[in-house]
Amino acid sequence: MSTPALRVSGLSFTYPDGTKVLDSIELTIERGERVALLGPNGAGKTTFLLHLIGILGGGPGRIEVQGVALEPTSLREIRRRVGLVFQDPDDQLFMPTVYEDVAFGPANFGVPADDLEERVRQALAAVGMVGAEERAPHHLSGGERRRVALATVLACQPDLLVLDEPSSNLDPAGRRELAEVLAGLDTTILLVTHDLPYALQVCDRSVVMNRGRIVADGPTRQLLGDEATMRANRLELPIGFNPS
């Protein structure tokens, strides 16, 4: 069997004030899967993401990305393998031009100058932003900034792409364009969202987190149609939306 893109075993975490946020998380994502992480506010989703890139840690449990265990000695490699796209693209775009923003990550990870231009070209092509290289990121539309932020991560060629609320603050066209980009990517995706229709559009599988535990795991359409699970975990579909 192939090595999973992500394997999390027995992951727990308690803040210094005694608040337990993660409680024995078990999660495996196979290569090429697209998985939505759903749950109410306070479920532990953000804390879980911060563990995946090594910002938080120190509690029980183990995280492996493509077979590499997250440890102090492997932190740099893990951060290359796990590409996190922040909810607000302005947290990710800080250089004068789009080209410089997209080139920043791979350059920081030691990609040779001879290969850097091709990395940037491929990443911008993947998100439909070729031709924007010399534009200032703050002059782009919200949807364009979101796609450039995604390109900054794709240029590092991660094994696992993690997106935090990617559809937030996007107009319908921006939502559609981003979904089309994600559909065309050949990479493993973990999508964290409150946007349940978007989870259904992008991800075949969903897991539900509540009170620091994984409480449901299955096909997205099936989970969204399970009224008892939805109600128990404070998940609500938009009025009139039928997942079937």
**Under 8 Å between Cβ of 77 and 68:** yes
Tell me the C-alpha distance between 100 and 12, whole Å: 38
Per-residue model confidence as pLDDT tens digits over 215-230: 999 999 999 999 999 9
Q: What's the average model confidence in pLDDT over 236-242?
A: 89
- The answer for residues whose C-beta is within 8 angstroms of residue 103's C-beta and 6 or more apart is 116, 119, 120, 155
Per-residue model confidence as pLDDT tens digits over 161-178: 999 999 998 999 999 999
Q: What's the average model confidence in pLDDT over 47-75?
A: 94
Tell me the C-alpha distance between 105 and 158, whole Å: 11
pLDDT band at 1 (very low <50, low <70, confident <90, very high): low
Question: Is pLDDT at 233 greater than 70 in this prediction?
Answer: yes
Pick the closest to residue 45 from 203, 233, 172 (CA basis): 233
DSSP 67: T
Instruction: Give, in words, the CATH class of 6-232.
Output: alpha beta
| Total H helices, total E strands in the chain | 9, 10
The DSSP string of 157-202 is: --SEEEEESTTTT--HHHHHHHHHHHHT--SEEEEE-S-HHHHHHH
State the alpha helices, DSSP H only, in the chain: 45-52, 75-81, 98-108, 113-126, 142-154, 172-183, 196-202, 220-224, 227-232
Query: Across the strands, what pairs with 210?
Result: 213
At residue 7, φ and ψ (nearest 5 deg) are -135, 120
Tell me the C-alpha distance between 159 and 81, whole Å: 5
**Structure tokens, 58:** 């120190």
Where in the chain are the domains?
6-232
- Percentages helix, strand, coil for the chain, rounded to the nearest 5? 40, 25, 40
